[in-house]
Amino acid sequence: MSNLLYIGNKLSDHGYTSTSIETLGSFLEAEGFTVHYASSQKNIFLRMLEMVYVTLRYGKKVDYVLIDTYSTKNFWYAFIISQICRLLRVKYIPKLHGGDLPNRLRKSSYWCDLIFNNAYQNIAPSPYLFEAFKEKGYPNLIHIPNSIELEKYDFQIRKFDVPRILWVRSFSQIYNPILAVKVLLTLKKQFPTAELCMVGPKKDDSYDATVAFAKEHQVEVKFTGKLTKAEWADLSKNYNLFLNTTHFDNTPVSVIEAMALGLPVVSTNVGGIPFLLQHEKNALLVADNDLEAMVYQIERLFSEPELSNSLVANAFDLVQAFDWNVIRKQWIDLLR
């Protein structure tokens, strides 16, 4: 098997959610690949320095460099590492992330061209990003979905009596966490015992704003902080609805995991979501930040049992295609 260098934000030890560098990296190691990583430095500048150092150290010793590529400030480490790889004449593979990456293609077309035109392959985990990159004419483009180990998710039959909402994401403004509390407040008019549990680490001041909003309106919300996948999957047994409130999205693994657990999904219809989910087939979708529509769709789950059951069944059928046992061959064929 090949030797790999994986460049990305390996920050779970600092309280952040595990990202692709840890999940995909562990999958590849289990398949027999040797994987070196950078970086687990919390400080962004130290992280960048370590990424450069490790790339220079291992660049000539590995077969491929995988680079998690985002749309925000982390975009620039992907640019720097990709150009070092070009100088070293090592094959690099950007793995694309983030629902706002198409905007980055428009805003930074010169820098994007230097990264993506010279890549060995560009990996799009969603049809949404695949189409955006295809439209820009980038070569060497492959669609390889995000994956989970389906056998580790315990599908549960849910009782749809009172809304018990689970929200799982980092607390970041782009994920609009405060909307979840607004949804709970509105639902309590019809369902006084409705519940909301919010799982995820603090990424920006949206966490404090969400907690303050809940206190101001005297509504009880359970904030767990960061949990492992196994911990929040176990916690999910107490809930009967998964809420995705984001402003931007690609193919969120948390939504795939929720469907594998048997939770019906109500989500904003943004970014890559309509490429993943179909309204009234395997999820219920609403416009970005539309509180009234989101509450209405949730209420439907508790008044239309046939709809609820069909959404759950169709969603579970959908996630079979995201199992690592299905996806693994694409990665092995690419990297061996």
pLDDT at 19 (0 to 100): 85
**Spatial CB neighbours of 189, under 8 Å, sequence gap ≥ 6:** none
Spell out the domain ranges in the chain: 3-144, 150-321
Q: Do domains 3-144 and 150-321 have the same CATH topology?
A: yes
Task: Based on DSSP, count helices (H) and strands (E) in the chain, helices before strands.
Answer: 14, 12
First-to-last alpha carbon distance for the chain, in angstroms, is 6
How far apart CA 40 and CA 99 sit, in angstroms, is 24
Q: How far apart, in whole angstroms, are the C-alpha atoms of residue 289 and residue 244?
A: 11
Identify whether the C-beta of residue 81 lies closer than 8 Å to the C-beta of residue 67: yes
State how far the Cα of 298 lies from the Cα of 214, in Å rounded to an integer. 20
Residues 270-324 have pLDDT tens digits of 999 999 999 999 999 999 999 999 999 999 999 999 999 999 999 999 999 999 9
Question: What Å distances lie between residue 42 and 7, 45, 49, 50, 82, CA to CA?
Answer: 14, 9, 12, 11, 21
Is it the case that residue 52 has pLDDT exceeding 90? yes
Contact present, 156 and 187 (Cβ < 8 Å): no
Contact between 265 and 289 under an 8 Å Cβ cutoff? The reply is: no
Helices 291-301 and 178-187: angle between axes, nearest 10 degrees: 60
What strands, in cross-sheet order, belong to the sheet with 284-286? 222-225, 195-199, 164-168, 241-244, 265-268, 284-286
Let me know: does 265 contact 277? Beta carbons within 8 Å. Answer: yes
Provide the mean pLDDT of the chain. 95
Angstrom distance (rounded) from CA 7 to CA 69 = 9
Percent of the chain predicted with pLDDT > 90: 91
What is the structure's pLDDT at 18? Answer: 80
Q: What pLDDT shows up at residue 250?
A: 86
| CA nearest to 162, candidates 283, 302, 262, 293 | 302
Backbone phi, then psi, for 284, in 5-degree steps?
A: -120, 125
**pLDDT of 1 strictly over 80:** no
- CATH no. for 150-321: 3.40.50.2000
Rounded to whole angstroms, how far apart are CA atoms 157 and 172? 31
Q: Assign 57 a pLDDT band (cuts: 50, 70, 90).
A: very high
Does 172 score more than 90 pLDDT? yes
Q: What is the pLDDT of residues 150-164, one digit of tens each?
A: 999 999 999 999 999
pLDDT at 101 (0 to 100): 92
In whole angstroms, give the CA distance from residue 19 to residue 32: 20
* The pLDDT value given to residue 17: 80
More confident residue, 14 or 27: 27
Query: Quick one: fold of 3-144?
Result: Rossmann fold (3.40.50)
Q: Is the bond into 126 cis (omega within 30 degrees of 0)?
A: no
pTM over 0.85, yes/no: yes
Please determine, for residue 91, whether its predicted confidence score (pLDDT) is greater than 90.
Answer: yes
Q: Span 85-107, mean pLDDT?
A: 93
Instruction: Count other C-beta atoms under 10 Å from residue 305's C-beta.
Output: 10
Q: Is 230 exposed, middle or buried (0-12, 13-18, 19+ CB in 10 A)?
A: exposed
